Amino acid sequence: MTFAEIKRRLDLYERLMRLHQPIGTLLLLWPTLWALWIAGYGNPPWQVVLIFAVGTLLMRSAGCVMNDIADRDFDPLVKRTRERPLATREVSVREALVIIVLLCLAAFALVLFLNMLTILLSVAALAIAATYPLTKRFFAIPQAYLGVAFGFGIPMGFAALLGMISWVAWWLLAANIFWAIAYDTEYAMVDRDDDLRLGIRTSAITFGRFEVPAVMLSYAAMLGILLWLGTRLGFGITYYCGLLAAAVMMAFHYKWIRGRQREGCFRAFNHNNWVGGVIFAGIALDYYVKGIA
Close Cβ partners of 14 (under 8 Å, ≥ 6 residues apart): 20
Angle ∠(203,205,210) on CA atoms, nearest 5? 80
Q: DSSP string spanning 191-257?
A: THHHHHHHT---HHHHHGGGHHHHHHHHHHHHHHHHHHHHHHHT--HHHHHHHHHHHHHHHHHHHHH
Helix and strand numbers, DSSP H then E, in the chain: 13, 0
Number of domains, the chain = 1
> How far is it, in rounded angstroms, from Cα 170 to Cα 4?
49
Alpha-carbon distance values, 238 to 79, 216, 219, 247, 282 (Å): 43, 24, 20, 14, 5
pLDDT for 83 equals: 87
CB-based contact 250:217 (threshold 8 Å): no
pLDDT for 138 equals: 82
For residue 153, the domain's CATH number is: 1.10.357.140
Question: Residue 20: which domain range?
Answer: 3-292
pLDDT for 1 equals: 67
SS3 assignment for 21-74: CCHHHHHHHHHHHHHHHHHCCCCCCHHHHHHHHHHHHHHHHHHHHHHHHHCCCC
Nearest to 185 by CA among 265, 73, 128: 265
pLDDT for 290 equals: 86
> How far is it, in rounded angstroms, from Cα 65 to Cα 256?
30
- The residue type found at 15 is R
* First and final C-alpha spacing in the chain: 61
Alpha-carbon distance values, 234 to 102, 228, 287, 291 (Å): 43, 10, 10, 14
Angle ∠(2,4,7) on CA atoms, nearest 5? 110
pLDDT for 71 equals: 86
Ranges of residues in the chain whose predicted pLDDT is under 50 = none
Collapsed DSSP state (helix, strand, coil) of residue 88: coil
